[in-house]
Amino acid sequence: MRKSLKFTTLSMVGLAVMAFFLTFAQAENENTVNPAAPAAVEAPAQSSDPAVSAPDEAAPAAAEAESAQAVDAPAPAAEAPAAVSAPPVTAPVEQPAAAPKGSKLERAIAAAPKGAEKGQIDPSKPAGFLGIPGGPHVNVVLALLWAVWVGWIFSTVGAFGGVMAGVGHMSVFGFGSYAGSFKQTAPDLGKVVTDSIKASNQFMVGLSAAISSFNYLKMKRLVLPLALSLGAGSLLGAWAAAALSAGKLDFKSYQGYFGLFVLGLGCWLLYETTPAGQAKKKTAKEAAKAFEDNAQKMKNGEHVDPAKVGLKIERFTLTSCEFNFFGVPFRFNPIVPFVGGIVISAVAAFLGVGGGFLLVPFLTSVTQLPMYLAAGTSSLAVLISMITSIVTLISKGTPIDWMLIGIELVGIAVGSVIGPMTSKYFSDVTLKRIFIVLALYVGVGYFLAGFFGFKLPGV
């Protein structure tokens, strides 16, 4: 029944549509057909009146003359067709200018003003940093020695490598003042150079972190579950910060924020050296003393119980991890370092540093690790964060000076090998004091230079 009704309805609709088109076609045909020629004038009937019907002698002559006149008269001129109006002339549509070609750096250089003044590109000058004409030139020996220092301090303390790499690139090599000179004249170029400084810092820290992680793992001074928990959070934080900040930060702002974070770090570490801060780190102090005592015994050739040497993981789950270091027990919840890794790596990627300067205080304060364990554990977390951040920056078009990076990586390798071997000759307190002095001076210097334009010597 439904099918029959449906078929009937469709048939009726189809017929209606056909009828409409037939009617429309017929109307169009009638409108376009030429009007019919006028009918021939009917000849008048002959009158029965003899007077009228009588032949007129002048009629034949008049008719003949009229016929001749009709033949000789020219045909009426055909009506001129109506003038066709010309189509309106439209103004040509202006084509959009072609987008500049080349890499992000090449486009920024092309847009920068040319000349010999500050904040300008001088094409007559030899290529310097990143191949920019007139850019800073770095002494090869200085770059190598500074990289050794960065590798040593990072592998010894487990932090501050990125900060020291930043000090070298910004202050020692002069990249910072060069990037800052384009703030008014070519801000895009200044931001590109700033991003390159961040990536260069992270290359140095990344290699040092890789070497240090391997060495500390062999020496059983790396808490692998803790490092992996931090690293998992670092993946997310480093990617988000690098992706969101690339190309958006001018150098002066970057320098100011860099100093602010380092200054805050120095103040926190200074607090930890006070009696109130030390009272909260009883476990870390016990582990540090146990390590130092055993190291001294081994140095003197005394017997050391193998069961109490090194790091031993006893239990690891999603909510709990237990281990002991030279007989001192430790316990933590892996969720805490995971969340800490997200926050710390986001800050580190934003600043273009490794994040060890935040990871080490986090490990020594929250998880109560001694510096001997914090250095190795933070190294692996930093490595994961650095790989993520570097890949993200390069994918955003950040240029890299590969020649300079190659020289620096050689120095980093040397310093990173020396660091773990020499760290046992420094006490936990001595390492922390070195850290605090550097953090306070660098932090104050960059904070004042970035936000107030006041420079301290060497910064």
Rounded-to-integer distance, Cα 179 and Cα 40, Å: 100
Of 346, 354, 387, 350, nearest in space to 165 by CA: 354
Confirm if 329 and 322 have CB atoms less than 8 A apart: yes
Confirm if 369 and 377 have CB atoms less than 8 A apart: yes
Rounded-to-integer distance, Cα 269 and Cα 159, Å: 13
Q: Is 124 helix (H, G, I), strand (E, B) or coil?
A: coil
Predicted pLDDT of residue 34: 42
How many residues belong to the chain? 459
If you search the block for the tokens 């092309």, which residue do you land on?
Answer: 110
Predicted pLDDT of residue 89: 53
Of 314, 323, 320, 291, nearest in space to 425 by CA: 291
Predicted pLDDT of residue 7: 42
Burial of 389 (0-12, 13-18, 19+ CB in 10 A): buried
Its pTM surpasses 0.85: no
DSSP string for 367-420? S---HHHHHHHHHHHHHHHHHHHHHHHHHTT----HHHHHHHHHHHHHHHHHHH
Listed in sequence order, the residues at least 6 apart from 226 whose beta carbon sits closer than 8 Å to its beta carbon are: 321, 332, 334, 337, 363, 367, 369, 377
Listed in sequence order, the residues at least 6 apart from 121 whose beta carbon sits closer than 8 Å to its beta carbon are: 109, 112, 113, 114, 115, 132, 133, 134, 186, 189
Rounded-to-integer distance, Cα 21 and Cα 373, Å: 90
Could you give phi then psi for residue 57, rounded to 5 degrees? -65, -30
Rounded-to-integer distance, Cα 232 and Cα 384, Å: 8
- 315 bridge partner residues: 322
Rounded-to-integer distance, Cα 331 and Cα 368, Å: 9
DSSP 102: S
- 323 bridge partner residues: 313, 330
Listed in sequence order, the residues at least 6 apart from 290 whose beta carbon sits closer than 8 Å to its beta carbon are: 308, 325, 326, 327, 328
Of 152, 142, 145, 141, nearest in space to 415 by CA: 152
Rounded-to-integer distance, Cα 36 and Cα 24, Å: 22
Query: Which residue ranges in the chain fall short of pLDDT 70?
Result: 1-100, 158-159, 280-288, 295, 298-299, 303-310, 424, 428-429, 458-459
Tell me the pLDDT tens digit for each residue of 372-409.
788 788 889 889 989 999 999 999 999 999 999 999 99
Confirm if 130 and 407 have CB atoms less than 8 A apart: no
Tell me the pLDDT tens digit for each residue of 207-228.
988 988 888 888 888 888 888 8
Cα Rg, the chain, nearest whole Å: 45
